[in-house]
Amino acid sequence: MGRVPGHLDEDVQAVVSDLRVDRFLTLGQLGRRYGVTLRRLREMQRLGAVELRSMELRPTYWSKPSWFTVASLPGTPPGPGKWVEHVLGLAEVRWVMRDRLDGWRPLESLGGERPDRWRWFDVFAYDREAGGKPAVVEYDTGIYRPREILDKTGRATRICQKVIWATASYRKAEVIAELVPDADIWVIRWHDGEHYRF
């Protein structure tokens, strides 16, 4: 990374710090977090701090694909669209719950390679709302079937008592609530930042 001009220094540090954890963030997510514009992101790209790409992504499993400007650290492989959509959802969950969850650790960081996300949980954290007890965080773009939701919840509750489910649609939140009535369920949409507890 080249020398960072003073007016960009704070933005660059914040964006790079978030990308180290989240891997991918859209222009919309960075705009909501830090007021970063496309012009500023392009300046950061010229400095070698970020890599930008246009990606055709679906905000929810049922929605039509749209084009999004996505930032990552230089050299980050793009991965398949469904995986990037999932990662963007988890990034939004982390941001929305930043004052509630400590020790955010994606499963990948605990075991190296990207695991089969249908078999394991997404994130391990400590929930301040539950007195600092361990919690598992799951994000569903709408792709999980009822059996997978039950299996993932069952595995998570063997590790800790608290399971936080987040999804991109009210309809999917209803399904999760029927299957796992005692789960903490959130609707959190990465593409527009809308979020609320179900």
What's the mean pLDDT when you consider all of the chain?
89
Q: Which amino acid is at 41?
A: L
Residue 75: band (very low, low, confident or very high) from pLDDT cuts 50, 70, 90: very high
Q: To which H or E segment does residue 3 belong?
A: none
How far apart (Å, rounded) are the C-alpha atoms in residues 146 and 78? Answer: 29
Q: Return the H-helix or E-strand segment holding 126.
A: strand 123-127
Encoded tokens for 173: 């939140």
Q: Is residue 84 part of a domain?
A: no
Asked if residue 181 and residue 118 are part of one domain, the reply reads yes
Question: Is residue 87 assigned to a domain?
Answer: no
Q: What is the pLDDT of residue 3?
A: 54
Of the CA atoms within 13 Å of residue 157, those in its CB half-sphere come to 11
Q: 96 and 72 in one domain?
A: no
Q: Are residues 110 and 192 in the same domain?
A: yes
* pLDDT value at 55 more than 60: yes
Residue 165's pLDDT band (cuts 50, 70, 90): very high
- Within a domain: residue 136? yes
Q: Is residue 27 part of a domain?
A: yes
Q: What is the pTM of this model?
A: 0.89
Range of the domain at 159: 92-197
Residues 27 and 71 both lie in one domain: yes
The answer to whether residues 37 and 111 belong to one domain is no
Residue 98 is assigned to a structural domain of this protein: yes
Decide if 1 is inside a domain. no
Q: Is the pLDDT of residue 8 over 70?
A: no
Total of domains in the chain: 2
Residues 135 and 169 in one domain: yes
User: Which of the listed residues 79, 103, 120 is the one where a domain comes to its end?
Assistant: 79
**Contacts with 193 (C-beta within 8 Å, 6 or more apart), sequence order:** 28, 29, 32, 92
Find the radius of gyration of the CA atoms of the chain: 17
Which CATH number do you get for residue 17?
1.10.10
Query: Residue 112: its pLDDT value, please?
Result: 44
Distance CA 185, CA 8 (A): 37
Judgement on whether residues 135 and 192 belong to the same structural domain of the protein: yes
22 with 107, same domain: the answer is no
* Contact in structure between 51 and 74 (CB atoms under 8 Å): yes
Gap between the Cα atoms of 54 and 85, Å rounded: 13
| Structural domain includes residue 85 | no
Among residues 57, 79, 101, the one where a domain terminates is 79
Residues 53 and 107 in one domain: no
Same-domain status, 140 and 188: yes
In angstroms, the first-to-last Cα distance of the chain is 42
| Mean local confidence (pLDDT), 110-120 | 51
Among 79, 112, 144, the domain boundary falls at: 79
Task: Please tell me whether residues 58 and 112 are part of one structural domain.
Answer: no
Residue 86 lies in a domain: no
Do residue 143 and residue 51 come from a single domain? no
State residue 15's pLDDT score.
Answer: 95
- Residue 99's Cβ-count burial label (10 Å; 0-12, 13-18, 19+) is exposed
Number of Cα atoms under 13 Å in the Cβ half of residue 39: 2
